[in-house]
Structure 1
Amino acid sequence: MAKWGEGDPRWIVEERADATNVNNWHWTERDATNWSSEKLSALLLGVSVENEEGTCEVTEVSKVEGEASINNRKGKLIFFYEWNLKATWTGESKEGVKNKGTIEVPNLSDENDMEDLDISISLNKDEPETPMSALMKTKGADKIREVLGSYVGYLKTEFTQGMILPTANGMSSIQPSSQSKAKVDKTQICSSGSTVAPVNTGVKIPTCKFSIRERFLTSPADLYRVFLHQEMVQAFTHAPATVEGERGGKFRLLDGNVFGEFTDLVPEEKIVMKWRYNNWPCEHYATISMTFLDRSSETELKVECRGVPENEEERTKEGWKRYYFEAIKQTFGYGARLF
């Protein structure tokens, strides 16, 4: 028997407050099947594309068959998922001619790269070929591939919270698994940190507050809409997003690395929200107040941030400047001098 202090550090339990799964050494597994089924249905339903000839939309998700799970071994997360999906799409031309067809995805799997995903789009029997079917087979297929890629991102961020337990120093670490071949888009705003949220250890953290001002060559009304419309958020972040633009509505963007809730909305004047990076301590949100001020031909945006973890101050400032302010100006042409 080893002397006190000389044992294998993997089995030293007295340094862990809960003395559970020390250093994340043991195998743990979490079933993600039910969560994935709901997430896939929610992501696919309502997907729409349009051009000058008409619009197409996913109106029903009829089959979501498969399974998904996440395993933790020695601090490494291993992702497994395999899905067979089927949905209905409806198209309508500018002249009012309607089409209906099916979408099939037989091989959404961790063994296949997203660019190799097989997406089959067809018309129902006796439906005539129209420009709407061509639209769905091109832009529609690309949009479906995009939202299914975001499912993989959510699986690796949202659903993994708490799987890597804090070690003796209270921190958790994640080693990406080489066994999962699925590729996820770049992390963007959260690139300097882990994409998995540590569990809540009940320790108070020091926070700070700061404000940022910026001017945009547009009206308060137009700038206000940019933050509340899902399509506009996806445009300036260049990534899938979920935005419920109402009081109490949730938002999630940049592959799930930023999310929160709108707590107060004053049209064209103010947005208040609970906001956080995914890797902040569990359930810790900053309060972000955005005030839109009319400056004649410009809009001055004042962003006040309270409750930001002290060690995240500079990163949060730079993230807002780069991935909100600069991205919005470049995307919508609202460029103005720095304030």
Structure 2
Amino acid sequence: MAKWGEGDPRWIVEERADATNVNNWHWTERDATSWSSDKLKFLLLGLSVENEEGSCEVTEVSKVEGEASINNRKGKLIFFYEWSLKATWTGESKAGVKYTGTIEVPNLSDENDMEDLDISVSLNKDEPETPLSNLMKTKGAEKIREALGSYVGFLKTEFTQGMILPTANGVAKVQSTSQSKATQDRTRVSSSGSTTAPVNTGVKIPTCKFSMKEKFLTSPPDLYRVFLNQEMVQAFTHAPASVEGERGGKFRLLEGNVFGEFTELVPDEKIVMKWRYNNWPCEHYATITMTFVDRSSETELKVDCRGVPDNEEERTKEGWKRYYFEAIKQTFGYGARLY
């Protein structure tokens, strides 16, 4: 048997106290198919674009066929994925006329660059021609390409946690590779090909901070209560929700796609919470601070967001505007003056 400091290092079990997959030498594989299917549906469903002609939205993801897996060999991560996707988009013109069509992506694969992805957008045969079809073929297709790029990024960060094991000095040596000719920057992967990370700190990702302001035609106490009352949250999200409206209380809404914890509550004035989308890297939360300011006949809500993943900034802003601000105004009538 080799002595400490001599011989082939793959056999020196002292490198890890538990002698598990020493030096990450042995081949390990993780099936990412089920996780990928859920992630792809989540990233695509609800994507929307608009222009002066109207708006379009992905309303159904009807087909997600394929497989994905990650292999670790000698500290190198090798990614395999191949998917065929089909979705339905719905458009509505400024005149209120609705249209439907399909989206097909037959070749989402580690063998293809993201820019070479085939994204076919068509209008259903029984539908009349509309400029919204061109909107989906241009801006819509680009948003879909970005979402699929995000999927590859999450596959290479969020899903790989724990596959590269730390050594005795508390450092995991990570070398990421792929069978694809696509480069990581094209797929919006934030980690580099060779990095080091402390034990149990998860994946370090670049984050950003931003602020939003919105006015509501109601009082600070009434608006404050909307965010903490379970029945009211269920009303404006139009779905079951779990809300524990107290400090340290947990919340989960939008079918589990958003969840977190209230960390500070100042009645009628401020709410601070840990907040995240369910597809963010494991255990990564943004800090959301909501401040309620009385402006006489209305309330100004200031939302400060810190720790949002860089590549999730626009999606997070759009999500708050659509699923919080606009939904609350439409549900409770806080957006229109009545004379």
User: Structure 1 length normalisation: TM-score?
Assistant: 0.64
Instruction: Give the drift of 1:78.
Output: 0.7
Unaligned runs of 5+ in 2: 203-208, 217-222, 228-240, 244-250, 318-339
Deviation for aligned residue 1:134: 1.2
Where structure 1 has 5 or more consecutive residues not aligned to the other structure, the ranges are 202-213, 229-244, 252-259, 306-315, 329-339
Q: Which amino acid counterpart does residue 179 of structure 2 have in structure 1?
A: Q
* Matched AA of 2:261: T
Q: Return the alpha-carbon distance in structure 1 between the equivalents of residues 180 and 9 of structure 2.
A: 28
Aligned equivalents of 2:100, 2:212: Cα separation in 1:
43
1:211-268 per-residue CA deviation (whole Å, 9 max, x = no partner) reads xxx99896798xx9xxx9xxxxxxxxxxxxxxxx9962489xxxxxxxx953127777
**SS of corresponding position for 1:134:** helix
**Aligned partner of residue 100 in structure 2, secondary structure:** strand
> What is the rounded CA distance, in whole Å, between the counterparts of 1:167 and 1:49 in structure 2?
47
Q: Which residue of structure 2 lines up, in the alignment, with residue 31 of structure 1?
A: 31
| CA distance in structure 2 between the partners assigned to 1:294 and 1:146 by the alignment | 36
Aligned-residue Cα RMSD (Å) equals 4.7
- After superposition, residues 145-160 of structure 1 pair within 5 angstroms as 145-160=145-160
Q: Deviations over 1:279-315 (max 9, x none)?
A: 99x85x789573648699xx9x999x9xxxxxxxxxx
Contact 1:250 1:261 (C-alpha < 8 Å) held by counterparts: yes
After superposition, the C-alpha distances for 1:160-215 in whole angstroms (9 at most, x for unaligned) are: 0110011121221211215333332263xx88x959885589xxxxxxxxxxxx99
Letter of the 1:111 counterpart = E
Distance (whole Å) between structure 2 residues aligned to residue 79 and residue 28 of structure 1: 12
Whole-Å separation in 1 of the counterparts to 2:34 and 2:210:
45
Q: Contact conserved, 1:161 with 1:199, CA < 8 A, in 2?
A: no
Change (3 A) 1:195 1:137: farther
Q: CA deviation at 1:131?
A: 1.3
Q: Distance in 2 between matches of 1:172 and 1:155?
A: 18
Aligned to 2:67: 67
Structure 2: which amino acid aligns with 1:19?
A
Task: Specify the alignment match of 2:87 in structure 1.
Answer: 87
Deviations 1:27-54 (A, max 9, x none): 1111111111111112111111111221
Cα distance in structure 1, aligned partners of 2:287 and 2:294: 22
Q: 1:184 matched to which residue of 2?
A: 187
Distance of 1:115 and 1:12 partners within structure 2 = 44
Q: TM-score, normalised by structure 2?
A: 0.64
**Counterparts of 1:302 and 1:118, CA distance in 2:** 38
Structure 1 contact 16–167 (Cα < 8 Å) conserved: yes
**1:98 paired to 2:105:** no
Aligned pair in 2 of structure 1 residues 151, 37: CA closer, same or farther (>3 Å)?
A: same
CA-CA distance at 1:24 after TM superposition: 0.4
**Pairwise CA distance, 1:137:** 0.9
Whether 1:127 aligns to 2:134 is no
Aligned residues of 1:53 and 1:93 also touching (Cα < 8 A)? yes
Aligned position for 2:260:
262
C-alpha contact (below 8 Å) 2:152/2:189 kept by paired residues: no
User: Percent sequence identity over matched residues?
Assistant: 64
Q: Which residue of 2 is the match for residue 234 of structure 1?
A: none
- Partner secondary structure for residue 14 of structure 1: helix
Report the number of matched residues.
269
Cα pair 2:16 2:168 within 8 Å, conserved: yes
Distance 1:178 1:220, change over 3 A: same
> Which SS does the other structure have where 2:187 is aligned?
coil
Are the equivalent residues in 1 in contact too, given 2:269–2:293 (CA < 8 A)?
no
Classify the secondary structure of the residue corresponding to 2:14.
Answer: coil
User: C-alpha deviations, 1:108-154, integer Å up to 9, x for none?
Assistant: 01111111111000111121110111111111111111111110111
CA distance in 2, matches of 1:195, 1:279: 20
Distance in 2, Cα, partners of 1:195 & 1:181: 24
Report deviation, 1:67.
0.8
Q: For 1:61 and 1:215, locate their aligned partners in 2 and report how far apart those are by CA, in whole Å.
A: 31
Cα gap change, 1:11 to 1:249, in 2 (>3 Å):
same
State how far apart, in whole Å, the 2-side matches of 1:196 and 1:100 are. Answer: 47
Distance 1:181 1:57 in 2: 31
Separation of aligned partners in 1, 2:147 and 2:211 = 30
Residue aligning to 1:273: 274
Look up the equivalent residue of 1:159 and give its one-letter code. F
Q: Distance in 1 between matches of 2:151 and 2:196?
A: 14
- Contact conserved, 1:262 with 1:271, CA < 8 A, in 2? no
Question: Residue 169 and residue 250 in structure 1: after superposition, are their counterparts in 2 closer, same or farther (change >3 A)?
Answer: farther
Question: Quick one: distance in 2 between partners of 1:216 and 1:97?
Answer: 35
Counterpart of 1:272 in structure 2: which amino acid? M
